[in-house]
Amino acid sequence: MPGTEFGAEVRQHDHTGVIDLHGEINLGADQALADAYEQAVRDDPRTIVLNFARVDYINSTGIALIVGVLARARKEHRTVRAFGLSEHYREIFAITRLSDFMGIYPDEDSAVTAAAAAAS
């Protein structure tokens, strides 16, 4: 199968859980994404930031996984922000209305700053 395998690493940045995503977000990303989320919320941050800068493909199943993450975060009263989306995926996030529920930022600093500002 072509394409690059999905992976995710988690960092803490200014009391915010940052998940660096890379590769393809499709059905195969399910477990890794869930694990990354678990790890990101370990310190119970108010905000989770998803870094899409190194994601090269998101299909409808991947959209469903992101909806799942967002649903879980909302249930736990966490805010989700995203940055690093290409123009195409920003359009897809707009069409699917994901961007109505998830702040979309140009870069990590603005996402984290917005998170910190909202928290203070």
Q: Which of 53, 54, 95, 110 binds another protein (CB under 8 A)?
A: 95
Task: State which residue, 86 or 110, has the beta carbon closest to another protein.
Answer: 86
Q: What contacts 20, CB < 8 A, 6 or more positions away?
A: 8, 9, 10, 11, 51, 53, 54
Per-residue x/- track, 8-37, another protein (CB under 8 A): ----------------x-xxx---------
CB under 8 A: which stretch of 13-21, 39-47, 98-106, 110-118 binds another protein?
98-106
Specify burial of residue 49 (Cβ count, 10 A radius: 0-12, 13-18, 19+).
Answer: buried
CB of 25 to another protein, least distance (A): 12
Closest-CA residue to 17 (of 43, 35, 52, 54): 43
Contact 119, 46 (CB under 8 A): yes
Where on the chain is the footprint of another protein (CB under 8 A)? 1-3, 24, 26-28, 57, 59-61, 63-65, 67-68, 70-71, 74-75, 86-88, 91-92, 95-98, 100-101
